[in-house]
Amino acid sequence: MLFLILVVIYSNGYSQISTSFYANDSNSKFAVGYQFNDKLWSDLRIYSGTNIDNLTPEIIVNYNYLRKENYETYFGAGVILNNINGVVIPIGIAIKPFENLKNISINIEINPLYEIDLNDLFIRGFIGIRYKLKE
């Protein structure tokens, strides 16, 4: 609860919604995000290819470590639940390739996953596209 209060206070009225799509060779996921401020943002990622009984959400909080005009680097932490149960540590770069469309980024992400049920560590990679509703 204290963490949520600190996030709200720190956000200073800065917020924006985003939507993303991430893919790799074996699965993909859709995301809806909320950026609290220029450093802190979250994603609710839902894996595709699952029915309603097997819906697999991934809840992530990310921190923009380095922010430049044409790219941002970030890392975060989160959980994944249902078909896969574990902890994820996303580490990525968001590249803004279009000069006049700064609200679109191409995200390249390494996403280590510790799978609790299997007691195993997996290293996954994703590439995606993210669109912020305002920039």
| pLDDT computed for residue 2 by the predictor | 42
Q: Would you state the pLDDT for residue 58?
A: 94
Quote the pLDDT of residue 123.
94
Residue 5 DSSP symbol: H
The confidence score (pLDDT) of residue 71 equals: 95
- Please compute, for residue 113, the number of CA atoms within 13 A of its CA located in the half-sphere on the CB side: 20
When divided into structural domains, the chain yields a total of 1
CA 78 vs. chain centroid, Å, equals 9
Phi and psi at residue 37, to the nearest 5°: -160, -170
The CATH number given to whatever domain includes residue 73 is 2.40.160.20
- pLDDT by residue (tens digit) across 66-83? 999 899 999 999 999 988
Residue pLDDT, tens place only, 85-101: 999 999 999 999 998 88
**CA 117 – CA 131 distance, rounded (Å):** 34
**Mean pLDDT, rounded, of the chain:** 86
- Cα(1)–Cα(116) distance, rounded to whole angstroms? 25
Give me the domain span that covers residue 89.
2-132
Going by DSSP bridges, is the β-strand pair 120-132/91-95 parallel, antiparallel, or unpaired? unpaired
* 79 neighbors 57 (Cβ within 8 angstroms): no
Predicted pLDDT at 6: 43
Start-to-end CA distance of the chain, whole Å, equals 29
Identify the three-state secondary structure at position 68.
Answer: coil
User: Model pTM?
Assistant: 0.81
6 phi/psi in degrees, rounded to 5: -65, -40
